[in-house]
Amino acid sequence: MSAKECDYSLYLVTDSTPAILGDKDLVSVVKSAVEGGVTIVQYRDKTSETADLVRIAKEFHEVTKAAGVPLLINDRVDVALAAGVEGVHVGQDDLDLETARKLLGPDAIIGVTANSEDEALKAAKNGADYLGIGTVFATPTKENTKSIIGTAGVQQILNSLASAGHDVKTVCIGGINASNAQRVLYQTTSPKKKLDGIAVVSAIMASSYPAAAASDLQKLIANPPPFATSISKNTLSREDLISKSPSIIKRMATTQPLSHNMTNLVVQNLAANIALAIGASPIMSNNGLEAADLASLGGSLVINMGTTTPEIRENHLKALAAYNAVGGPTLLDPVGAGATEQRREGLRRLLGGGYFDVIKGNEGEIRTVAGSQGVRQRGVDSGASQLSLEERIELVKGTAARERNVVLMTGSTDVVSDGERTFLISNGHELLGEITGSGCALGTTIASVMAVEREDKLLAAVAGILMYEIAAERAAEREDVKGPGTFVPAFIDELYRIRKESLGGEGSWAEAAR
Ligand code: 3NM
Ligand code: MG
């Protein structure tokens, strides 16, 4: 079994500690996991005596050899040699790769832990067969991990390997389980490179049913997540998106999708009225426990971080998981994300805890999102007061590519991107800035459109922005509008009017797009 043809898709790292293994028998667990479909096994044991390590490795090897699954030993080249297994995995503080290669020979499978671009590039250059990239998410299994790099950090490492021309195999590790495996594989994938698999400890070793845990993970790995779209299929131009918008709004007005808003105290009423005006069915529920029922109704979810608390955040995470599980569209409004440590932490938890189809915010909020995963932003200094349009475009596009979603940065010129296509929209009116909740209700509007347009998320976002901002322009132009107070009802009326026009097949309103 050569390192090149080895299947890395489901990589099991063993753990013999009672906290994870419980009272199960170690070799039986590995046997079940192999039966369930793990494709490669690493024996990791930081405490046993050398003689025991060799004995257990040999027992594992009986099981893995019979199944054609490679067995590697963590750290201990001597144990790998003594047991005659297929290779080793070395961490950054273990025996160096060159020496391990000399001792084990060219056919051995040698993997290296990589936490950064530099570590990955060096290991790939020195002939590692695969890299274990992590730590993706904080995990109780391994304390004192160097740094949590998230899906964004993994993607960044993959991109730099691809740019340097390395075709080294890759898996990621740290906090991966059935609840996030599909998302991790999806969000780490870039047009340049994708992971060859995921590595898990507790998701299998701590399970009472290791065979079922492994086969469940294999099924998840083999399929894209429910919220996946193929960006390469979505190639409509800006003009196409604009001309299609009225028919999308018509579809929304016809189907009246559920618009589930977990939004802040200030805007609940305005957002609900706007959802009604555009033709959606609002429900303002902050109870995460009812989100699974609501997610099954075919609508979409807005998570708005304004007036959030730790308790509300837990509800947000529950709801996000419920919508992700069925592919229900989700939109994040990271209100005031950079303002306090609580909100920065909340943002990290949300981005680490699930997938958002759209992230919408103002310049400061999107900059906080861009910097939230510990990824260095080239050319963006957080001390700078204002970004140029070019910098905003690069930030929005890069963040969308990183998250594999749609990112919208609002402003007098809105910048919206799906990581491939990036468009500017200059509609809207300054009176929107004079009323509270206008940004939040734009989130409600876009999410409502997403409920009826799931394939092209950028199309949904553009249709929502245009409807919203063109209605604002129409309202502001009205003679009865004298200021913010009269603007609000006029704005709701104009949203309603655009809905009615669209429903009647009248699409000329979108010609006001700028
Ligand atoms: N190595 P679980 S994280 C063994 O970051 C190991 O290099 C890591 O355990 C790294 O799947 C980790 O239970 C533990 O989260 C992963
Ligand atoms: Mg190690």
Q: Does ligand 1 lie within 6 Å of residue 141's CB atom?
A: yes
pLDDT for the residue numbered 149:
94
pLDDT of 116 above 60:
yes
Contact 407, 417 (CB under 8 A): yes
pLDDT band at 1 (very low <50, low <70, confident <90, very high): low
Residue with tokens 């009326």, as numbered in its chain: 493
Closest atom of ligand 1 relative to the 91 alpha carbon: 7
Distance CA 153, CA 139 (A): 16
Of the candidates 2, 93, 14, the residue with the CA atom closest to the CA atom of residue 53:
14
**Closest C-alpha residue for ligand 1 atom 15:** 175
pLDDT for the residue numbered 38:
98
> Ligand 1 centre and the CA of 60: distance in Å?
20
**pLDDT-above-70 percentage for the chain:** 96
> Ligand 1 centre and the CA of 13: distance in Å?
8
Closest atom of ligand 1 relative to the 200 alpha carbon: 11
Distance CA 248, CA 453 (A): 7
**What digits encode the pLDDT tens for the residues 181-237?**
999 999 999 989 999 999 999 999 999 999 999 999 999 999 999 999 876 678 899
| Token duo for residue 198 | 């995921």
Q: Does ligand 1 lie within 6 Å of residue 30's CB atom?
A: no
Q: Does ligand 1 lie within 6 Å of residue 177's CB atom?
A: no
> Ligand 2 centre and the CA of 173: distance in Å?
13
Phi and psi at 97, nearest 5°, equal -60, -45
> Ligand 2 centre and the CA of 76: distance in Å?
9
Mean pLDDT of the chain: 94
CATH class label, 237-372+384-512: alpha beta
90 φψ region: left (φ > 0), alpha (ψ -120 to 50), beta (else): beta
Q: What is the CA radius of gyration of the chain?
A: 26
Q: Does ligand 1 lie within 6 Å of residue 13's CB atom?
A: yes
Location of each CATH 3.20.20.70 domain in the chain: 10-222
From the candidates 440, 449, 452, 460, give the one annotated as an active-site residue: 440
Closest atom of ligand 1 relative to the 20 alpha carbon: 13
**What digits encode the pLDDT tens for the residues 264-294?**
989 999 999 999 999 999 999 999 999 999 9
CA 327 to chain centre: 13
Q: Does ligand 1 lie within 6 Å of residue 139's CB atom?
A: yes
Q: What CATH number does the domain located at 10-222 have?
A: 3.20.20.70
CB atoms within 10 A of CB 383: 4
Distance, first Cα to last Cα, the chain? 59
Pocket test for ligand 1, best of 130, 135, 171, 180 (most atoms within 8 A of CB): 135
Sign (positive or negative) of CA dihedral 113, 119, 122, 125: positive
Q: What is the DSSP letter of 140?
A: T
Counting every residue written for the chain, the total comes to 514
Of the candidates 220, 292, 259, the residue with the CA atom closest to the CA atom of residue 441:
259
**What digits encode the pLDDT tens for the residues 126-163?**
999 999 999 999 999 988 888 999 999 999 999 999 99
Location of each CATH 3.40.1190.20 domain in the chain: 237-372+384-512
Pocket test for ligand 1, best of 201, 204, 207 (most atoms within 8 A of CB): 201
3-state secondary structure of 399: helix
> Ligand 2 centre and the CA of 88: distance in Å?
10
**Closest C-alpha residue for ligand 1 atom 4:** 142
Helix (H) or strand (E) run with residue 269 in it: helix 268-278
Q: Does ligand 1 lie within 6 Å of residue 174's CB atom?
A: yes
pLDDT of 45 above 50:
yes
Which ligand neighbours the alpha carbon of 73 most closely?
2
Distance CA 417, CA 81 (A): 52
pLDDT for the residue numbered 381:
35
**pLDDT-above-90 percentage for the chain:** 89
> Ligand 1 centre and the CA of 134: distance in Å?
8
pLDDT for the residue numbered 308:
84
pLDDT for the residue numbered 32:
98
Helix (H) or strand (E) run with residue 353 in it: helix 341-353
Contact 379, 388 (CB under 8 A): no
Q: Does ligand 1 lie within 6 Å of residue 173's CB atom?
A: yes
CA dihedral 202, 208, 210, 214 (to 10 degrees): -70
**β-bridge mates for residue 109, sequence order:** 87
Task: Write the ipTM.
Answer: 0.93
Q: Which residues contact 86 (CB under 8 A, 6 or more apart)?
A: 1, 70, 71, 72, 108, 109
Q: Does ligand 1 lie within 6 Å of residue 89's CB atom?
A: no
Distance CA 442, CA 412 (A): 14
**What digits encode the pLDDT tens for the residues 305-363?**
988 889 999 999 999 999 999 999 999 999 988 888 889 989 999 999 999 999 999 99
| Token duo for residue 441 | 């209700």
Q: Does ligand 1 lie within 6 Å of residue 467's CB atom?
A: no
**Closest C-alpha residue for ligand 1 atom 5:** 135
Contact 130, 8 (CB under 8 A): yes
Closest atom of ligand 1 relative to the 15 alpha carbon: 4
Distance CA 260, CA 286 (A): 9
pLDDT of 379 above 50:
no
Distance CA 260, CA 300 (A): 6
Of the candidates 235, 281, 278, the residue with the CA atom closest to the CA atom of residue 261:
281
Of the candidates 83, 21, 84, 31, the residue with the CA atom closest to the CA atom of residue 52:
83
More confident residue, 307 or 470: 470
> Ligand 2 centre and the CA of 62: distance in Å?
24
Burial class (CB in 10 A: 0-12, 13-18, 19+), 31: buried
pLDDT band at 166 (very low <50, low <70, confident <90, very high): very high
Of the candidates 487, 484, 447, 483, the residue with the CA atom closest to the CA atom of residue 467:
447
pLDDT of 378 above 60:
no
Active site residue 440: yes
Distance CA 403, CA 270 (A): 29
pLDDT for the residue numbered 339:
86
Distance CA 461, CA 248 (A): 11
Our CA angle for 199, 203, 205, nearest 5°, is: 95
Contact 192, 162 (CB under 8 A): yes
Burial class (CB in 10 A: 0-12, 13-18, 19+), 416: buried
Q: Which residues contact 23 (CB under 8 A, 6 or more apart)?
A: none
